[in-house]
Amino acid sequence: MSFPAYETLLTDLADHVLTVTLNRPQVLNALNSQMARDLIDAWSRLESEAVRVVILTGSGDRAFCAGGDFKERDGMSDEAWRAQHALFERAFEAIIDSPVPVMAAANGHAFGGGLEMVLAADFAYGAAAARFALTEVTIGIMPGGGGTQTLPRAVGGRRARELILTGRPFSAAEALDWGVLNRVCEPAGLLPAVRETAQLIAGNAPLSVRQAKKSIHNGLRVDLHTALRFEIEAYNRLVSTEDRREGIRAFIEKRKPVFRGR
């Protein structure tokens, strides 16, 4: 499986792990219209069994993503602004609805839409010096890439209100303590740690991982009893798979299973 040469992204697929790197370091990987188009296209290609996990990171060591590219937006009509934002919405939703797990590796600061990308991922690791913020209310807008929904789900409603309504930045240590990050690493150790976890996930049964992710994702939207029924439906779809038979056979034979996504 191959990906096109994107204008704003770098892609690398190895051992079922796809690394997507935001690649506009000259503007701190700020999100523009082309990056949104590139993200939408990249995520549209994830149905293939060749990709089992995605790592989303940024180029350079200063920023994961500084947010929206306001130089591009300077002078935009209201109509053009809304049309561009519709592109951004599709990009964020593509990450949230990804059929495979997405790990964010926040190699540097993540502000505005950059933090919303981190929050759109299934979970995230971050560099120790990285800082995070949803600063939109300080410039006359508000989070519009899912931040008013994903941040409360990560940190709780009361803390999310404080962070969003003040626009105050917070540290990687606070992000870890509050649930935005799963792990904080020194810069040199960030991608090795993310890749180690990604390889653990990629080594598991891919259909099982997809169904488990789908069950968690949808279960959080509904009441517990409805979520439990969804879980069993997802579980039962795995019973007839070749991977289920291979996994049980390998367990009995005390060997590593060979999963084929079938």
Cα–Cα distance measured from residue 148 to residue 144, given in angstroms and rounded to the nearest whole number: 8
- Report the C-alpha gap between 180 and 60 in whole angstroms: 22
Please say whether the beta carbons of 98 and 120 come within 8 A. no
Active site residues: 116, 136
Residue labelled with tokens 């979970």: 123
In the chain, the amino acid numbered 199 is: Q
* Burial of residue 134, with CB atoms counted within 10 A of its CB: 0-12 exposed, 13-18 middle, 19 or more buried: buried
Measure CA 170 to chain center. Answer: 19
Q: Are 90 and 83 in contact (CB under 8 A)?
A: no
Strands (DSSP E) found in 34-108: 53-58, 63-65, 102-106
